[in-house]
Amino acid sequence: MKNTHPTSLERDSFSSRFGILVAMSGSAIGLGNLWRFPYLVGENGGAAFIIIYLAFVIVLCLPIMFSEFIIGRRSQTNVFGAFRVLAPDSKWGIMGLLAVLASICILSFYCVVGGWSIEYLVKALSFDFKAENNAMFGNLFENFVSSPIKPLIFNLIFLVITGLIVIAGIKNGIERYTKMMMPLLFFIMIIIAVRSMTLKGGGEGISYLFKPDFSKVTSNTILAALGQAFFSLSLGCGTIMTYASYVKKDENIIKCSAYTAIADTVFAIIAGCAIMPAVFAFGISPEEGPGLIFITLPHIFSQLPLGGLIAILFFFTLFIAAITSSISLLEVIVSYLKEEFKMKRLVAVVISFSVILILGSLCSLSQGRLGNITIFGKNLFDFFNYLASNILLPLGGLLIVLFVGWRLGKLNVFDELTNQGKIKISKWILETIFFIIRFLAPATIAVIFFSSIS
């Protein structure tokens, strides 16, 4: 099955292997690592959750990532066009539309939180974290997110930055900026983690992270671990597929995917080491939920020696993590509009930007003025979060492995994984990967998916 997409030779592409790695890692490393991972660890028993999460990453998520990579690189086009190339005259194109819809849903609430990171970076730069207790920081956060104006302004600023990077294209935009931002992201987070782990009483936080307590594991823990693995690695929403379509044919799919998963997981654990020791050192419950980032940590920073500087570094890190993921999500939508409707990149970005700005504004206002508007008992922010994380991402992942395992077939999968036989990979490794893609991954995702919506 050869790529027959007429524009494949005209498309932009990544210029280097390092560029691919940092872009893929930037897509995966985001608010899922800094915002969701620490509080999910806190709510689900610490290290036991991390072990289950790692098992899902290795056994399920890597083969799904291989599958997205195969579809993207083999087709060399957007998430919808990929199925026209690989499965012409079929209904599989609906999966591409689901990926676009998932990216829209995620960006709608993701950019709101990205805006919060800018607001808190501004507060940190002005050394504004001076409240006396956690409750006062809670009031500060609630007053901000429920405001009808300020969150909208920061949401707009975050979206503008995202749009400007995507307008510049793959090589001169996404690759160029992620090459600068990703190494900085790791460097700053390591500094914060070292400072946190050296706090008096921080050892309890380290123990909490790395000493498993399986007595606290429930069915909800398993669902949360799978959902976090999908959300964090950007699976099922088309970002890996879209980025892979800009990857040259001589790159090693298995290595690229594995390095991305490793970078994402290592960063999540470093983030845990940066946050949990500080939480325990100040006698705060690790089960604080989403407020851990915007309420508890500012309270901790206000009491630390050089806490003002640590706060600046942390919220700058949060902003970088958010922006590298948001550009990958926006590129899914932009590449679809650009290639399927023959738009110029600038026009596609403006249209995508406008749609996300409207939906994001509604999600932001649902924290205050529009809080009485609910869908299935959830405000708009929580609804888009639930729809993406619990339904669209697992459903997208399920359809992807079904397509690769049953429609694309073993020979095409092996052909892509080995770069047409140029990369020597053990036959049993290839057979194991294909078995997981064809049987284990669909069965596991289906069981957990239906459990989560029942």
Q: What is the pLDDT of residues 366-375, one digit of tens each?
A: 999 898 999 9
Is 105 within 8 Å of 238 (Cβ atoms)? no
Task: With respect to residue 92, please indicate whether it lies within any of the assigned structural domains.
Answer: yes
Task: Give residues with Cβ within 8 angstroms of 370, minimum separation 6.
Answer: 362, 379, 380
Is the pLDDT assigned to residue 66 strictly greater than 90?
Answer: yes
Measured CA distances, 51 to 47, 54, 65 (Å): 6, 5, 20
CATH number at residue 222: 1.10.4160.10
The whole-number pLDDT of residue 54 equals: 92
Name the residue range of residue 149's domain: 8-378
Beta strands in 299-439 (DSSP E): 374-375, 378-379
* Phi, psi angle pair for 379, to nearest 5°: -70, 170
Whole-number pLDDT of residue 279? 85
Mean pLDDT along residues 298-322: 88
* pLDDT tens-place string over residues 140-170: 889 999 998 999 999 999 999 999 999 999 9
Instruction: Write out the two tokens for 2.
Output: 């050869």
Amino acid residing at 141: F
**Burial status of residue 152 (CB atoms within 10 A of its CB: 0-12, 13-18, 19 or more):** middle
pTM for this prediction: 0.91
Q: How much is the pLDDT for 44?
A: 82
CA 226 to CA 60: how far, in whole Å?
9
Q: Answer for the pair 397, 230: CB distance below 8 angstroms, yes or no.
A: yes
Average pLDDT over residues 235-255: 92
Q: Is a pLDDT exceeding 50 seen at residue 4?
A: no
Euclidean distance between the first and the last CA atom of the chain, given in angstroms as a whole number: 39
Summarised one tens digit per residue, pLDDT across range 161-202 is: 999 999 999 999 999 999 999 999 999 999 999 989 998 888
- Euclidean distance between CA atoms 231 and 140, whole angstroms: 28
Q: What is the pLDDT of residue 363?
A: 96
pLDDT tier at 270 (50, 70, 90 boundaries)? very high
Structural domain includes residue 425: no
Q: Is residue 290 part of a domain?
A: yes
Rounded average pLDDT over 204-229: 84
Please tell me the predicted confidence (pLDDT) of residue 67. Answer: 96
Query: For residue 431, what pLDDT is reported?
Result: 96
Residue 323, in any domain of the structure: yes
What pLDDT, on the 0 to 100 scale, is given for residue 37? 84
For the chain, give the mean pLDDT. 89
Res. 437: pLDDT tops 60:
yes
403 occurs within a structural domain: no
Domain count along the chain? 1
- Higher pLDDT residue, 212 or 100? 100
Domain assignment of residue 393, yes or no: no
Closest CA to 387 of 272, 250, 286, 236: 236
Name the pLDDT band for 8 (thresholds 50, 70, 90). Answer: very low
